[in-house]
Structure 1
Amino acid sequence: MKKLKNFLIGLLIVALALVIVAFFLPRQVHVERSGTIEAPPKVVFNQVNNLHTWEKWAVWNQIDPEMKVEFENTGVGEGAAYTWESENSNVGSGRLTITASEPYDSIATEMDFMEKGTSSGYFLFEEVGKGTKVTWGFDIDLGNNPADRWMGLMFDSMLGKDFEKGIENLGVVSETIVQEGRPIVEIVTVPEFNYVSMRSNIQFENTSTQMGVMYGKLSNFIDNNDLMMTDTPYAIYHKIDGTMIDLECGIPVEYKTETNGDIISGIMPAKKYATADHFGSHETLGETHQFIQNWIVENGFELVGSPMEKYLTDPQKEPDVSKWVTAIYYPVR
């Protein structure tokens, strides 16, 4: 009996010692890992900025294929979030939110583990040669719980491995996109702008010729009225019916002005778009259009208007079609 009593007293002393020591252990835990990916910052950034793609590279998202995920605020960019629920004890339930998003530079996140508390994280993207250095960081306040303080000693070794594997997976995803030449679709808001434009129903086979005629008339109008072009020309495909296209060609200008005849002047309101750049000949623009259309559906957006193309390369100044760049925009919500 005396031995049992001494044993219990010993256990109590050890337990008390562990509690006391725990208050001297770090309350704040920081975990950080870095890696280099052979892909541009724009490509890598967008695989993190779009929460729909996390299942392709984040380690925790791959542990339980049956995990239930619901996206909030479209799941893309600042303010986007997703909640997850899993019966796997290593995954559990929680909510991840993108609290800040600076294109191609950094992303900040917050993870709510429900009764287990919250943590903050971040991703930094730095261009290194033709690749990107990615830094993934994590910070958590363990509070005053002695058990959590002791667990905190293992966070770096446990989470560090997951971060390293996650960056490795992110590299595979990003580098594959580059190798396959897939477009990068982003969500942007184009601010309102003044414009002059012309709109006409034309035969599909005459598109290039008619666009040249309309842009020529618009350029002459701008010159004759001392207007200043403020951005590259654009075209809006209002409707395609068989071989006929309801096409509007426009040029952004510094202010709205009086017009006559076929030329219109107005203000294009600010809109949210799903956008991607097309590289190469205009003859293959349809492939990038289709890619964006599929992306809109797959990521839960709704199309709310007609597509617009902005011609970032002047064919008269750059004869090499492989160097042509066309930005394609689809209005969404």
Structure 2
Amino acid sequence: MPKIVELGERPYVALRGKVAMDGIGAFADRMGEVIGWLAAKEIAPNDAPFFKYDVVDMEAGLVLEIGFPVDDLHSGEGEIVTGVLPAGRYATVSHHGHPDGLMEATRDLLAWAEEQGLEWDADGAHWTARLEIYRSDPREVPDMNDWDTDLQFKLKD
């Protein structure tokens, strides 16, 4: 069941790109670039990796970031970007199962928020913070059907 949580600011480091809907998997495979950049800078993530959907346009494509929260704000370079996930109220729900089920989980969360009369912190297709947080480490949980993922979508203040 979805719920509303209050979250503080969270600095992060990520790889940013424009991705077609059918290119999300290939973009996700580039997570190693973020891990390598963090390791080279001796920066440790402080939580699970995430996908941040900045623009969600099913026809024109997505603007997507894949990255990790970190303790302090840093400067990016090249395709590596840095930023801060804003503090505020987030609608959140947990999904257990293959990431293929996240589209349905997202639909359900969007419908729940509409039923509750909640407003997203978004301007059309542009979102302030729409996150999929991957709680399962593939090295420890190799079967994607056993993965745990949290959706966190920022609500309008």
TM-score range, shorter chain: 0.7 to 0.9
Q: Gaps spanning 5+ residues in structure 1: where?
A: 1-183
Range with bigger deviation, 237-246 or 311-320: 237-246
Q: Residue 204 in 1 paired to residue 21 in 2?
A: yes
Which gives a bigger RCO, structure 1 or 2 (Cα 8 Å, sep 6+)? 2
Q: Residue 317 in 1 paired to residue 120 in 2?
A: no
Write the distance in 2 (CA, Å) between the matches of 1:208 and 1:231.
Answer: 21
Write the distance in 2 (CA, Å) between the matches of 1:236 and 1:285.
Answer: 14
How far apart are 1:322 and its partner, in Å? 2.7
Alignment of 1:144-293 (within 5 A): 184-213=1-30, 215-238=31-54, 239-242=56-59, 244-293=61-110
Identity in percent: 26
- Indicate the RMSD between aligned Cα atoms, in angstroms: 1.5
For 1:326, give the aligned amino acid: T
Write the distance in 2 (CA, Å) between the matches of 1:259 and 1:243.
Answer: 26
CA 1:266 to 1:237, structure 2 compared with 1: closer, same or farther past 3 Å? closer
Equivalent pairs, count: 149
- TM-score normalised according to structure 1 size: 0.43
Match of 1:327 in 2: 150
Larger radius of gyration: 1
Q: CA offsets, 1:52-80, max 9 Å, x none?
A: xxxxxxxxxxxxxxxxxxxxxxxxxxxxx
Write the distance in 2 (CA, Å) between the matches of 1:202 and 1:322.
Answer: 24
CA 1:243 to 1:321, structure 2 compared with 1: closer, same or farther past 3 Å? farther
Give the 3-state SS of the residue equivalent to 1:199 in structure 2. Answer: strand
Q: Gaps spanning 5+ residues in structure 2: where?
A: none
Contact 2:17 2:79 (8 Å CA) reproduced = no
